[in-house]
Amino acid sequence: MSSLLVDNIGELVTNLAGGGEGGPLGIRRRAALLVEAGEVAWVGPARDAPAADRRIDAEGAAVLPGFVDSHAHLVFAGDRAAEFAARMAGQPYTGGGIRTTVGATRAATDDELRVTVRRLRGEALRQGTTTIEIKSGYGLTVADEARSLRIAAEVTPETTFLGAHVVPTEYADRPDDYVGLVCGPMLAAAAPHARWIDVFCERGAFDIDHARAILACGQAVGLGVRVHANQLGPGPGVQLGVELGAASVDHCTHLSDADLDALASTRMDWTSGTETTTVATLLPGAEFSTRSPYPDARRLLDAGVTVALATDCNPGSSYTSSMPFCVALAVREMRMTPAEAVWAATAGGARALRRDDVGVLRPGARADLIILDAPSHLHLAYRPGVPLIRQVLHNGVPQCRP
């Protein structure tokens, strides 16, 4: 079995609490890391590094777990650059443009969708994203939702059925019938290709009763729950997510104290060893691209809520695949420290996907890691917009340099 040593690491972010200098990142200085069979086999001081078949010299740079982007919508056709321009000229974002993308997606061939998914997946990987969740939600017919998930599953195991993104035009005057379709034939066709189910629970999309019914149907066939919640205004989505044991509630831009308390009350169940924390996943690319107020990450963190950062990459509200950009936004605009933001973009995303094999660098974890063109994780926020990802290892395999 061939081994690979990443040596001469100036700052190694392990995300193991108590694993290094203290703080959430578990930082080790002058470290090395051994990779075998796609996994981390050993982590320790560079002076004790074992022999290996191959060696990468990190030249004193920082090494981090690969980013875990736990919220992306990559299966679509067309773009909405004109809608973005109109917003920058003062138009509000309402989510109404989703139907434009639905029309383009339905008209696209499988191969056209596949090319877009692979292009965006590649773009994300070059920026350090080694785990990505991909949702359906721009098909909204049985066949189009099923093929969206099939194509997503070609590039990631983290696939999410979002048939309840909006009520499509042809069902506009009979939303109950659409919910019946989602819970019936659409779920049956989607579930074999999906790990998760999601609903856009918002005024103008799905109300709490419809959202609860759809999520419960998904749970009944074994899908995990996530919710698009409290994005455009206050609403019941966050508390519904907590009630149903969602792995994550996403957006969380408009939160009441009761929403905060509900999130803070969720936690790991140590007696059964099961993770029942509901993570608040913040998507600052959406606030950036819709020119909206950012969620208050500080308030969530100070209340003890587990926070993740993700891109929400989609053609309408957030057309970025860049986790470094989201880290920089979170620090500058959402009052997160650089350490909190880096943790949220790696370990936080892993929690939001209920994964313990990614977002962390310890023996037995996936060998998914980033070597920065910088001496410290601080530079991700300190040097915004700069391509700092020097090298990415995915499953222990060095990817082409960007």
Residue list for the binding site for Zn(2+): 71, 73, 228, 312
Residue 69 as a binder of Fe ion (CB under 5 A): the answer is: no
Coil, helix or strand at residue 146: helix
Nearest to 377 by CA among 86, 29, 3: 29
Side chain identity, residue 170: E
Contacted entry of ligand NIG, Fe ion, none for residue 46, CB cut-off 5 to 8 Å set by kind? none
Distance, CA of 143 to CA of 118 (rounded, Å): 21
Position of minimal CB gap to ligand NIG = 316
Residue 314 as a binder of ligand NIG (CB under 6 A): the answer is: yes
Window of 254-262, 266-274, 294-302, 313-321 that interacts with ligand NIG by CB under 6 A: 313-321
Residue 284 as a binder of ligand NIG (CB under 6 A): the answer is: no
Find the shortest distance in angstroms from Cβ 313 to Fe ion.
Answer: 9
Window of 4-12, 17-25, 309-317, 386-394 that interacts with ligand NIG by CB under 6 A: 309-317
Residue 15 as a binder of ligand NIG (CB under 6 A): the answer is: no
Window of 34-42, 93-101, 212-220, 274-282 that interacts with ligand NIG by CB under 6 A: 93-101
Side chain identity, residue 293: P
Q: Which helix (H) or strand (E) holds 258?
A: helix 257-264
Interaction residues for Fe ion, span 296-315 (CB under 5 A): 312
Distance, CA of 165 to CA of 163 (rounded, Å): 6
Cβ neighbours, 10 Å, residue 257:
9
Find the shortest distance in angstroms from Cβ 71 to Fe ion.
Answer: 6
Is residue 6 within 8 Å of 62, Cβ to Cβ? no
Residue 231 as a binder of ligand NIG (CB under 6 A): the answer is: yes
Annotated binding-site positions: 71, 73, 80, 138, 165, 228, 231, 312, 314, 316-317
- Write each residue from 100 to 129 as x if it is in contact with ligand NIG (CB under 6 A), else as -, in one continuous string: -x----------------------------
Coil, helix or strand at residue 360: coil
Three-class DSSP labels, 310-359: CCCEECCCECCCCHHHHHHHHHHHCCCCHHHHHHHHHHHHHHHCCCCCCC
φ, ψ dihedrals at 208, nearest 5°? -65, -40
Residue 286 as a binder of ligand NIG (CB under 6 A): the answer is: yes
**What residues line the site for Fe ion (CB under 5 A)?**
312
Q: Which residues bind ligand NIG (CB under 6 A)?
A: 95, 97-98, 101, 200, 228, 231, 286, 312, 314-318
